[in-house]
Amino acid sequence: MKAEREVILTARGLKKIEEELEQLRTVHRKRVADRIRESMHFGEMGENSEFEDAKNEQAFVEGRIEELRQILAMARVIDNEEVLTDSVGIGSVVKVRDLETLDEWEWHIVGTVEADPAENRISNESPVGKALMNRKVGDVAVVEIPAGVAKYEILGIRK
């Protein structure tokens, strides 16, 4: 049996997972069941690509439902009071400056399940996230990236 590990979520991440689970259980399951029922009219099961496609979608939906249930079973939600502002931790919003390009970014440090780089939500387990964890304003985090080494000065930390 695989060792279970705690999944750390922000309140926003918990809500997003619960909403996705509800959507899958109520809307997607019904839609897939309808597709399976309708596809039975397209011919014999062994030669019916619509039926096979619907069954594959059903397997995906059921797998994702189980994955979300497991995440929720292992979840620990970070209370806003736990979010640090004196050093970087999960839940912190960190403003950094790239010391080479002088570009500035704000990244929200989240658990792996919530990471979404397109929304500037980076995992505490990513290379950048690891380098920023437990650092304070004024510290420089050094991160190995494919192009070499990046150095980020921490300009601010907030909730």
Segment 52-79, tens digit of pLDDT: 899 999 999 999 999 999 999 999 999 8
Report pLDDT for 1: 35
Contact 51, 36 (CB under 8 A): yes
Give the list of residues 6+ apart from residue 65 with CB closer than 8 angstroms, or none: 21, 24, 25, 29
Domains of the chain: 7-77 (1.10.287.180), 81-158 (3.10.50.30)
Cα distance between residue 59 and residue 47, in whole Å: 19
- The two three-digit tokens of residue 108, written as one number: 């929200």
> DSSP labels for 1-24?
-PPP--EEE-HHHHHHHHHHHHHI
- SS3 for 95? strand
Q: Supply the DSSP symbol for 126.
A: S
**What is the strand order of the sheet 121-123 is part of?**
121-123, 104-110, 93-98, 148-158, 140-145
pTM: 0.79
Binning pLDDT at 50, 70 and 90, where does residue 91 land? very high
Report pLDDT for 30: 95
Dihedral angle, C-alpha 55, 57, 59, 62, nearest 10 °:
-130
Report pLDDT for 46: 62
